[in-house]
Amino acid sequence: MSEPAREGEPARKGDGVARIVTLIGLAQIVTFGILFYAFALLAPRILAETGWEPGLVYGGFSLAMVTAGLVAPAVGALIDRNHGRTILMVGPVIGAAGLALLAISHSPAVYLASFVVVGLGMATSLYDPAFATIGRRLGLRARRAISAVTLLGGFASTVFWPLTRALLTDMDWRMVAFLYAGLLIVIAVPLHGLAFQGRPVPLPADPDDAAQPAIRPLDPPASYRTLILFAVVVASHGFVTSAMSVHLIPLLGGLGISERDAVIAGMLIGPAQVAARTLEMLAGRSLAPMALGFVAVGTLPLAFLLLMLLGATPVTALAFALVYGASNGLVTIMRGVVPLYLFGAARIGRMLGWIASPALLVKALAPATFAAFLADFSAPAGVRASALIGMLAVAALVIIAIRARRPRP
């Protein structure tokens, strides 16, 4: 293993990249699996034991996402001050505290307070702080590292849904929450600590790497206008995917697709995500960052257009799932890569924080908003609305591309 670069010494090509990818990827499996995916299986048990209203129980998770969105810019600013390693080590501890508080909650107030703490843990340990810290360490070379981390992180649900289900056969949900709090501290904290060693010094650009930008990073005020546009891209995409995480099966059913065929289609989304990330990691070197952005964002409205133009059949449902899943997989990489191209590594933490903030707020509100829309309109209207929102993301990205290519003094 190579020695980490000393302060003021240029980092050597490849220094610590394999270590960072492996350890952060494993940490993302644990943190995402516990703080994000486990709730889907814990929530029905919480409902059954407490007798609280479903809106309260599921609203806790929405509150966590809102909290994460509100604090994301501050977290990013700390990462830009070279505190990324500390943030990522403290994050799982905060998440663990939230889970411990959840485990002892017997009133709605304590229950909701626990999710505020969980939200703080999300903001300091999931993809955005990890991407920002990787960007600070690797500079423009972070693309392949981010791709590899998302590939590993994509297995979080694969590992933790069956694990959580198995644990809940022998334990109640409170004991599982306590256990997961311990796992965050015992596993995620040391993984984050070992991943980043030495002072972050960005690697020099590789002239042979087609993924390097053709322009220098944007300067204020142009960068702030571009930041707002990119936040629109990510928030628009996030609204649709968050809504579909709850409403996809009913939406396809409303189009006339049987529940069986809708479930089969839904099962393909995960493999499509992983396949798209794998392909990007293996062949994405030849695809410029903005081109990656257009593929990631453009495939979202394309998926819904397939349903609109070809009709709702089992075959088109499968095609929809594959294209939609590919978009979902690639947009996670795009979120970390394109901002590096546009803004550079020096302030990537703040930029990712400001991008994540509205996206998380929108994602928290999307399921309820889309449910209200479907209650007033039809499933075909829901498909058209999703396609239009996806096109809004594409339009914002087009404006960004034009701005990025505009000559500057």
- For residues 114 and 99, the answer to whether their CB atoms sit within 8 Å is yes
* Better pLDDT: 207 or 139: 139
- State yes or no: pLDDT of 1 exceeds 90: no
Lowest mean pLDDT: which of 85-99, 247-261, 278-292? 278-292
pLDDT mean over 41-66: 88
- The Cβ of residue 226 has, within 10 Å, a number of other Cβ atoms equal to 20
- State yes or no: pLDDT of 179 exceeds 50: yes
Tens of pLDDT along 345-387?
777 888 888 888 888 889 888 888 888 888 888 889 999 999 9
Lowest mean pLDDT: which of 181-185, 186-190, 238-242? 238-242
The CATH fold of domain 17-195:
Growth Hormone; Chain: A; (1.20.1250)
> Rounded to whole angstroms, what are the CA distances from 19 to 16, 27, 258, 290?
5, 12, 46, 28
**Residues in contact with 384: Cβ distance below 8 Å, sequence separation at least 6, in sequence order:** 304, 308
Q: Give the rounded percent of residues in the chain with a pLDDT score beyond 90.
A: 37
- Alpha helices (runs of H) in 154-221, residue ranges in sequence order: 156-170, 173-183, 189-195
pLDDT mean over 247-272: 84
Task: Tokens for 360, please give them.
Answer: 């998380």
| Residue 91 identity (one-letter amino acid) | G
Question: What is the pLDDT at residue 30?
Answer: 95
Question: What is the pLDDT at residue 312?
Answer: 82
* 314/322 Cα distance (integer angstroms): 13
pLDDT mean over 119-138: 90
Taking all residues of the chain, what is their mean pLDDT, rounded to a whole number? Answer: 84
pTM of the model: 0.79
* Better pLDDT: 298 or 159: 298
Q: Where are the domains of the chain?
A: 17-195, 222-405
* Better pLDDT: 91 or 340: 91
Question: What is the pLDDT at residue 43?
Answer: 86
**Residues in contact with 114: Cβ distance below 8 Å, sequence separation at least 6, in sequence order:** 60, 98, 99, 101, 102, 105
- Judged by DSSP in three states, 347 sits in coil
pLDDT-derived band at 219 (thresholds 50, 70, 90) equals low
Lowest mean pLDDT: which of 53-62, 228-237, 301-310, 391-400? 53-62
pLDDT mean over 293-308: 93
- State yes or no: pLDDT of 205 exceeds 50: no
* 386/347 Cα distance (integer angstroms): 33
- State yes or no: pLDDT of 288 exceeds 90: no
Tens of pLDDT along 73-126?
899 889 988 888 999 999 999 999 999 999 999 999 999 999 999 999 999 998
Question: What is the pLDDT at residue 34?
Answer: 94
pLDDT mean over 129-142: 84
- State yes or no: pLDDT of 326 exceeds 60: yes
pLDDT-derived band at 298 (thresholds 50, 70, 90) equals very high
- 82, 88, 94, 99 alpha-carbon torsion, rounded to 10°: 160
* 395/294 Cα distance (integer angstroms): 10
Question: What is the pLDDT at residue 222?
Answer: 58
pLDDT-derived band at 215 (thresholds 50, 70, 90) equals very low
Tens of pLDDT along 387-404?
999 999 999 999 998 877
The CATH fold of domain 222-405:
Growth Hormone; Chain: A; (1.20.1250)
**Residues in contact with 280: Cβ distance below 8 Å, sequence separation at least 6, in sequence order:** 147, 287, 292, 329, 330, 333
Question: What is the pLDDT at residue 5?
Answer: 39
Lowest mean pLDDT: which of 6-15, 208-217, 318-327? 6-15
- State yes or no: pLDDT of 58 exceeds 60: yes
